Chain A
């Protein structure tokens, strides 16, 4: 993506991606939620992208997708469709390493079973773990959220993260530039459709 990165570390890439994505039109609708829930639902928009690792040992982000799916706006399902592969003309397809599937949750909701399914499905194509100059990184999905009620200031307040390799689920929150991992759990499947998260 132009005007984004490249970054030397994935942490820096995340710190840049979070406010960028949340500042896109209607990426967070907390300000509307209490005023007009139906309007909030109508305008809420999900954006998604890949954060990936290049042969130049840099972290970059793909173009943002905001679902150009026709007719989506007419239905009650509005969600981002993230292509499995990034097209970066500088590199061959196999040279790009996929790290984080990032998106926003316009209402700040926690990860749903579909979020988990989504990255598990990507994990059938992309390696679950990869080596970078920063050490080993595991494929994961990330959902940014804002608690802001002011549409002019869509603050990046944190993100939820799920790592299919370890079935680990986490919340990272930011307060005035200080990031903390504030929740952590492991997902167990009772069966194919029911989950249990043990939180530590």
Chain B
């Protein structure tokens, strides 16, 4: 998917560290007081190999090496393509004394059509080379990021350790489990922001509402624009305009659901067949 295009690839520098791996190995910490940045800061820059020249300080380079060597420990005999440092993708941002490193995998490079259900990790690494916090996808619980509306019509971003949705009142309580409150816009790729909408009540399973039911349409669902011959996640605009012109749409939902309107434009791939309009 597209986010990979935006990720730094510093493979050449990293591939040179295989010879003396122990130098770049460090046990992983689990310091949950460290919060990964919400924002890319002044921008997300893709390193292009051709024209520009870059300065990179040693602390950042070492942090990249530590992250790569933690994700794929050295010493695997004849490693397959995906288990090589040059097959990973690296993104980093430095915030004061902590270097945050995000590792992903370059599936196209290895010609892999099947992706695992989980891959990638993110690291908070101190400038002296310690892994302060590591979040491996599918393994470690990440922090939970919420967008709460404020009385003046604005919003704040709240980070919690708990899965339970916080309230504005929680923000003033010292024991609320709120880790951070910020108004900084969330622009870091891979961050899921949850905006709780009050009033939801659990719905019990019933013959009319079977377990795993997928037919409870959202009134604003189904706005996937076409791009390069396939459906892709909408831009904020596309997500709000209620329907794309080419999204042929029957009234998808048959089972009603409390509070939801009809499904305005359920997306179908052109050759789906099973549910042609």
Contact = CB atoms under 8 A, between A and B. Distances in A.
B2 interface: yes
Nearest to A40: B139
Given A77-B118, A127-B275, A200-B199, A71 B79 contact: yes
Interface in A140-181: 140, 142, 161, 163, 165-168, 172, 178-181
Most chain-A Cβ atoms within 10 A of its Cβ — which of B79, B117, B119, B269? B117
Interface in B174-222: 186-197, 199-200, 202-205, 209-218, 220-222
B266 interface: yes
A130 B194 CA distance: 29
A194 B188 CA distance: 7
Contact of B138 (A114, A193, A199): A114
B56 interface: no
A77 B212 contact: no
Contacts of A76: 70-73, 121, 136, 139
B269 A123 contact: yes
Given A81-B116, A165-B266, A189 B214 contact: no
Classify chain A: how many residues form its interface, as a range. 35 or more
Nearest to A190: B236
A129 B205 contact: no
A135 to B, nearest CB: 7
Contacts of B191: 194-195
A136 B139 CA distance: 33
B187 to A, nearest CB: 7
Given A76-B136, A100-B212, A112 B272 contact: no
B263 interface: yes
- How would you classify the secondary structure of chain A's contact residues: helix, strand, loop or mixed? mixed
B254 A135 contact: yes
A188 interface: yes
A140 B212 CA distance: 9
B211 A172 contact: yes
A82 to B, nearest CB: 7
A189 B195 CA distance: 13
A187 to B, nearest CB: 8
Contact of B193 (A48, A172, A196): A196
Q: Is the interface of B mostly helix, strand, loop or mixed?
A: loop
Residue from the set A46, A82, A139, A163 with the largest chain B CB neighbour count within 10 Å: A163
Interface in A67-122: 67, 69-71, 74-84, 97, 100, 103, 105-107, 109-110, 112-115, 117-118, 120-121
A134 interface: yes
B242 interface: no
Contacts of A11: 205, 210-212
B266 A166 contact: yes
Contact of A114 (B70, B118, B194, B239): B118
Given A11-B212, A196-B193, A77 B217 contact: no
Nearest to B229: A124
Contacts of A137: 214-215
A75 B72 contact: yes
Contact of B118 (A79, A127, A186): A79
Nearest to B269: A128
Contacts of A80: 116-117
Given A70-B80, A75-B83, A140-B214, A192 B119 contact: no
B273 interface: yes
Interface of A: 9-11, 14-15, 37, 41, 44, 46, 48, 67, 69-71, 74-84, 97, 100, 103, 105-107, 109-110, 112-115, 117-118, 120-121, 123-124, 127-131, 134-140, 142, 161, 163, 165-168, 172, 178-200
9 contacts: A44-B139, A70-B80, A82-B114, A123-B231, A128-B275, A188-B234, A188-B239, A194-B190, A199-B196
Given A78-B139, A197-B193, 4 more contacts: A10-B212, A77-B136, A128-B268, A142-B212
Interface of B: 1-3, 6, 30, 70-73, 75-76, 79-80, 83, 105, 113-121, 136-142, 147, 163, 165, 186-197, 199-200, 202-205, 209-218, 220-222, 230-236, 239, 252, 254-255, 259, 263, 266-269, 272-275
